[in-house]
Homo-oligomer: A and B are copies of this chain.
Amino acid sequence: MDIEKVNSMDFGEFVDVFGNVIERCPLIAAAVWSQRPFSDLEDLKKHFFAFIDALPQSGQEGILRCHPDLAGSELRRGTLTAESQREQSAAGLTSLGADERLRLAELNAQYRARFGFPFVLAARFSDRAEVSRELARRLLCPSAQELRTALGEVKKIGSLRLADLLCADPAKL
């Protein structure tokens, strides 16, 4: 898909295509449509990120709370979004042993209790061992720093999803 195609979309098409660039937040894609036309992928990305950055802290936490746990109950129940399902599969989280699953569930629960949002990581860049390690490490970070780190992961995920949709080379992002 090229940028002319993107710029020609009405808001219904745009939200259908880009509604899950930020997980379960079609509101953000729907808001970004107001900023068209876009000059290129970079410009489109810039508007998604600017919307996130301009939200009050409660809204930024809200974005995180719309994300599923990694290797959590939604993966087991099969209710993940198509994008999350692919990303969690790529990190090997769909084929964990019982011990690993339990260990991750415990860490996820501790993380949610400590920060008030779920652990978010651009899983496509990771393998299962790294996911656990990174979760254990970030669990110890100060809250304000962790909010920034988590939003950075939301943006990495969004960049990769946008690149998929526009068939761009992720190495150039």
Contact = CB atoms under 8 A, between A and B. Distances in A.
Interface in A1-55: 10-12, 15, 24-35, 51, 54-55
A93 B99 CA distance: 52
B31 A62 contact: yes
A56 interface: yes
A63 interface: yes
Contacts of A24: 26-27
Per assembly, the copies of the chain total 2
A27 B66 contact: yes
Given A24-B26, A35-B58, A61-B30, A10 B112 contact: yes
Q: State the majority secondary structure of interface residues on A.
A: helix
B112 A28 contact: no
A58 B25 CA distance: 14
Q: Most chain-B Cβ atoms within 10 A of its Cβ — which of A27, A34, A65, A66? A: A27
Contact of A25 (B27, B33, B35, B65): B27
Nearest to A34: B58
Interface of A: 10-12, 15, 24-35, 51, 54-59, 61-66, 112, 116-117
Given A30-B62, A31-B55, A34-B116, 11 more contacts: A11-B112, A26-B66, A27-B59, A27-B66, A30-B63, A30-B64, A31-B61, A33-B62, A33-B116, A34-B57, A51-B58
